């Protein structure tokens, strides 16, 4: 199974680019974040033409996540499961996670809240959101299951996952509570399969800010991730980052994130 995660920063703007990329890369499953589309505005037919089923969870304006699959798409579920509500303080009205079973794997496409700033209420929302993700994992799965959570986590797990840790003093994405929330997912049993494959290598990023020429200066962050349960992670054959997709090409303007693709012998 060839599985891709990609924060497209508006599927409305990016659709031609995404369709072209699908034809070139031929993923079995493509998980998107930041579609910024209302539920009814999702271009389901465009993906169906290429042989893919899809499940979108959108609210328009902001957020929006999708799973697009040519290896089946069963038991879709939008948002967090109701039975984990009691484990957290609040319902989540934002369209940030969608689940489906594709090719025998229980998959989630997730767009973790950004956090904005440490003193912003959105930061504590981010931490609670991650807590609830862990709670749902615990409530519904065991580590022996084939479970994969992919998406934009808005967390750089280690210092080498940003271009210069000193530039992040007092900033979100690298704080201890965020990294603790990340570790809680890893402690449950999920594996960061990019890190599994690339060991100690740093300087490999999935996101570059549009501002200040960050991409051209190679100043990025590794914040998009593929987390797999042990039975799936063991079957990783390769994982690759399409950095070229971050470049402008002719008519195409890029997302600020690059697609990350893992292949599993499934």
List phi, psi (to 5°) of 81: -70, 140
The region of 18-26, 57-65, 177-185, 235-243 touching DNA under the rule CB under 7 A is: 57-65
The region of 56-64, 142-150, 231-239, 258-266 touching DNA under the rule CB under 7 A is: 56-64
Q: Are 31 and 56 in contact (CB under 8 A)?
A: no
Would you count residue 259 as binding DNA (CB under 7 A)? no
Residue ranges with strand state E in 211-259: 224-228, 236-241
Would you count residue 247 as binding DNA (CB under 7 A)? no
Q: Are 137 and 188 in contact (CB under 8 A)?
A: yes
Min dist. Cβ of residue 2 to DNA (A): 26
Would you count residue 61 as binding DNA (CB under 7 A)? yes
111 in catalytic set: yes
Min dist. Cβ of residue 211 to DNA (A): 4
Min dist. Cβ of residue 9 to DNA (A): 5
Kindly state the DSSP code that residue 192 receives in the 8-state scheme: E
Q: Are 104 and 69 in contact (CB under 8 A)?
A: no
**Of 224, 221, 164, the residue nearest 194 (C-alpha):** 224
How many chain residues touch DNA (CB under 7 A)? 16
Would you count residue 164 as binding DNA (CB under 7 A)? no
Would you count residue 62 as binding DNA (CB under 7 A)? yes
| Angle (CA) 80 66 184, round 5° | 45
Report strand pairing: 236-241 vs 224-228: unpaired
Would you count residue 113 as binding DNA (CB under 7 A)? yes
Q: Of residues 52, 111, 123, 205, which has the active-site annotation?
A: 111
152 in catalytic set: yes
Residues of this chain that interact with DNA (CB under 7 A) are 9-10, 12-13, 36, 60-62, 113-114, 116, 122, 210-212, 253
């Amino acid at each position: 199974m060839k599985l891709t995660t990609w924060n497209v920063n508006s599927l409305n703007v990016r659709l031609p680019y995404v369709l072209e990329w699908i034809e070139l890369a031929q993923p079995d499953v493509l998980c998107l974040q930041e579609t910024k589309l209302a539920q009814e505005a999702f271009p389901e037919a465009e993906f169906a033409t290429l042989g893919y089923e899809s499940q979108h969870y959108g609210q328009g304006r902001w957020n929006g996540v999708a799973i697009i699959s040519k290896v089946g798409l069963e038991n879709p579920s939008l948002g967090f499961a109701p039975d984990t509500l009691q484990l957290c303080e609040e319902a989540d009205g934002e369209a940030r996670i969608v689940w489906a079973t594709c090719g025998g794997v229980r998959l989630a496409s997730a767009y973790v809240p950004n956090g904005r700033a440490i003193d912003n209420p959105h930061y504590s929302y981010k931490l609670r959101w991650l807590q609830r993700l862990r709670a749902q994992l615990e409530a519904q799965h065991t580590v022996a299951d084939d479970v994969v959570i992919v998406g934009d986590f808005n967390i750089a797990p280690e210092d080498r996952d940003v271009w210069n840790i000193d530039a992040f003093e007092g900033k979100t994405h690298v704080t201890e509570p965020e990294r603790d929330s990340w570790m809680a997912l890893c402690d449950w049993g999920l594996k960061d399969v990019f890190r599994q494959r690339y060991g100690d290598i740093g300087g490999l990023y999935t996101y570059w800010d549009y501002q200040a020429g960050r991409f051209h200066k190679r100043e990025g962050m590794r914040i998009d991730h593929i987390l797999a349960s042990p039975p799936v992670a063991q079957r990783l054959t390769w994982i690759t980052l399409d950095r070229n997709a971050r470049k402008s090409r002719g008519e195409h303007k890029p997302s600020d994130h690059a697609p990350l693709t893992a292949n599993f012998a499934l």
